[in-house]
Amino acid sequence: MSRTDLSAGPLSGLRVLDLSTMLAGPYGATLLGDLGADVIKLESPYGDESRHLGPRRGEERGPYLSLNRSKRGLVLDLQQADAQAVFARLAATADILVTNIREPALGRLGLAYEQVREHRPDIIWIRVTAFGADGPYAGRPGIDFLAQGYTGVLTLNGEPDGAPVRTGFPAVDVMTSLLVSNAALAALRARALSGEGQRIEISLLDALMHAQASSIGTYLATGDRPRRTGNRSLYFAPSGVYPTRDGKHVVITTPGEKFFAKVCRALETDWDSDPRFHDIHARLAHEDELDAAIAECTRRFDRDDLVARLVAADVLTAPINEVEDVVKDPQVLHNRMIVPVEHPELGRIDVTGIPLRFYGTPCEVRKHPPMQGEHTRELLAELGYAGDEIDALIAQGLAADTAELRRQRDARRAERATAAQA
């Protein structure tokens, strides 16, 4: 019995079709690519919406570059029936399909589960929606921000006397992307045992409800309503953000008596013998006074010196890093959570790394985020199309490669320039 070659990662030999856009679906497919799957990003001639948003680097956009490593790029115009025939040949080679297209467009493009299953009966078909595949909100458009509203996260984020504040990064989309990859792996296990693929639906709403086990779950269990606390904790004190002499800040938190004692020793105080602060309940009752006393102490130190002092005392602490600090953080770099890839036009670009460390079948970022249509000719050739057939597909507008998309873009720019001069 021959061993499967897993030198490219634990998912070597599997093919994933990524027909999703923006973040949750694409980033889930990215992780599958990081784990060794052959991920094909199939786009329309317009392309993933993230190609049109955010800061530019050359002809590419930051949001797209940051989310789509470890893939190859193919462009098909699935609004045309003949292009759907090309897709049928591609789908027959795939193990997993990821999409976030809503009905009725999903069916018109030939991408509904039963349609794709005709090409590959054991396909694992995963769709991301905002609110669910059915039910009262089914079919509505939605993004991360809306899910935070519906699930009450906005009411929990921010200062107690301030307005609701969304999370500063798309937390719901990122959590959902992890569920996409997790669901794919579980379905592969089920298929290995049963021989059957299946349809899987994942929503932003459900992902964020799942993430709130400690808040909404506590309310369900006890009736205690979660409250907005800013940087403080509901259950213990001190826990917050404190200023330093150089105008920066640190986090200090104490989920247990031993940690408060360590803060006291590190800052050379005897707060733990003060009746106002001698246990968690007393500290919560006098939290304003305690925070003021800690801030007075932390202002005596520059941030990095204070963090070093607190770490040496085994205090739970962290600097509040700016993005420039994060990308130089020694533990982030040691964990290879920022890694370089070579882009054929942009040169070296740094992307976030793989948050899983496999010791038996190591994973790595092996491919740059593909340019739109970069691998169209390569992939069509793999599907058995001859060179002249590929030329014909592109000439008919059924498929496109990077050169053709650029030609079209340059033509549109020239038309706009001419119109502006008229």
CA dihedral 206, 208, 214, 215 (to 10 degrees): -100
The closest alpha carbon to 159, from 75, 220, 241, belongs to: 241
Q: Are 111 and 101 contacting, i.e. CB atoms less than 8 angstroms apart?
A: yes
- Amino acid identity of 327? V
Residues 23 and 50 sit within 8 Å (Cβ to Cβ):
yes
Spatial distance between the Cα atoms of 402 and 386, rounded to a whole number of angstroms: 18
Burial-class residue 143 by CB neighbours within 10 Å (0-12, 13-18, 19+): middle
**What tokens does 197 get?**
């693929």
DSSP state of 101: P
CA-to-CA distance for 368 and 89, rounded, in angstroms? 25
CB 211 within 8 A of CB 178: no
Backbone φ, ψ for residue 307 (5° rounding): -60, -45
Amino acid at 103: E
First vs last C-alpha separation in the chain: 72
Of 224, 230, 237, 253, which is closest to residue 157 (Cα–Cα)?
A: 230
Rounded-to-integer distance, Cα 231 and Cα 236, Å: 12
Residue 40 pairs in a beta bridge with 17, 72
Instruction: Please give the helix or strand (H or E) that residue 205 lies within, else none.
Output: helix 204-211
Match 């029936």 to its residue by tokens: 81
CA distance 148 to 187: 28
Using the Cα atoms of residue 390, residue 391, residue 392 and residue 396 in order, give the sign of their dihedral: positive
**How far, in Å, are 86, 115, 323, 362 from residue 335 at the CA level?**
41, 42, 17, 13
List the catalytic residues: 173
Inter-residue contact 41 to 65 (CB < 8 Å): no
Q: Dig out the tokens for 28 from the structure.
A: 């889930």
